[in-house]
Structure 1
Amino acid sequence: MNENNYLEHRIDRGQGSIYVREYAGKDPAFVLMHGFPDNLGIYDRLVPLLTAGGRRVVVFDFLGFGASDKPAGAKYSFEQQLGDLHAVVQGLNLNKIVPVGHDASGPAAVNYAIEHPEHVESVCLMNAFYVDSPTAKYPELIELFATTNLKALTQAILRSPEQFAWVLNFQRSKFQEHLKEDQKDFYAKFLGPLIDANFRNQPSSGPAFAQMTSQLFEELAKNAKRINKIWATAIPVQLIWGETDPYLNFGIAKHLQTLLKHSSLHVLPAGHWVQLDMPDRVAQIMLGNG
Structure 2
Amino acid sequence: MSTPDDDYQSKSVETPYGRLHVRDTGGDDLPIVVMHGFPDDSRIYDRLVPLLSPRRVVAIDFSGFGKSDRGPYVTLQPGQREAELSAVLAALGIDRCLLVGHDASGAVAVNFTLNHRDAVDRLVLLNCYYGDAPSLQFPELIRLLGDPNFKPLADALMDDPKMREWILAHTQARFGYTVGDPDGVVAASVAPQWFGEDAQPDALVAIRAWTASLFPDLEIQNQRIAQGELDTLSVPVTVAFGEDDPYLNPEVARHIARQFLNATLHLIKNASHWPQWEQPEQTARVILGIDS
TM-score, normalised to structure 1's length?
0.92
- Report if aligned partners of 2:97, 2:122 keep a CA contact under 8 Å in 1: yes
- Report if aligned partners of 1:28, 1:95 keep a CA contact under 8 Å in 2: no
- Report if aligned partners of 2:172, 2:179 keep a CA contact under 8 Å in 1: no
Q: CA deviation at 1:249?
A: 0.2
Alignment of 1:1-290 (within 5 A): 4-51=6-53, 54-73=54-73, 75-77=75-77, 79-176=79-176, 184=178, 187-193=181-187, 194-201=189-196, 203-227=201-225, 228-269=228-269, 270-290=271-291
Letter in 1 for 2:169: N
Letter in 2 for 1:189: D
CA distance in 1, matches of 2:118, 2:214: 28
Alignment RMSD (CA, Å): 1.9
Alpha-carbon displacement from aligned partner over 1:25-64 (angstroms, at most 9, x marks no partner)? 233211100110000110001000011xx31110010001
Name structure 1 gaps, 5 residues minimum: none
2:6 partner SS:
coil
Letter in 1 for 2:135: T
- Report if aligned partners of 2:74, 2:209 keep a CA contact under 8 Å in 1: no
Letter in 2 for 1:29: P
Letter in 1 for 2:20: I
CA gap of 1:186–1:166, structure 2 versus 1, over 3 A, is closer
Alpha-carbon displacement from aligned partner over 1:148-192 (angstroms, at most 9, x marks no partner)? 11111111211111111111111111111xx6xxxx489553322
Between 238-247 and 164-173, report the one with greater CA deviation: 164-173
- Report if aligned partners of 1:109, 1:123 keep a CA contact under 8 Å in 2: yes
Name structure 2 gaps, 5 residues minimum: none
1:57 partner SS:
strand
CA gap of 1:135–1:3, structure 2 versus 1, over 3 A, is closer
- Identical amino acids, percent of aligned pairs: 35
CA distance in 2, matches of 1:187, 1:242: 19
Q: CA deviation at 1:82?
A: 1.1
Q: CA deviation at 1:197?
A: 1.2
1:98 partner SS:
strand
Equivalent residues, number: 281
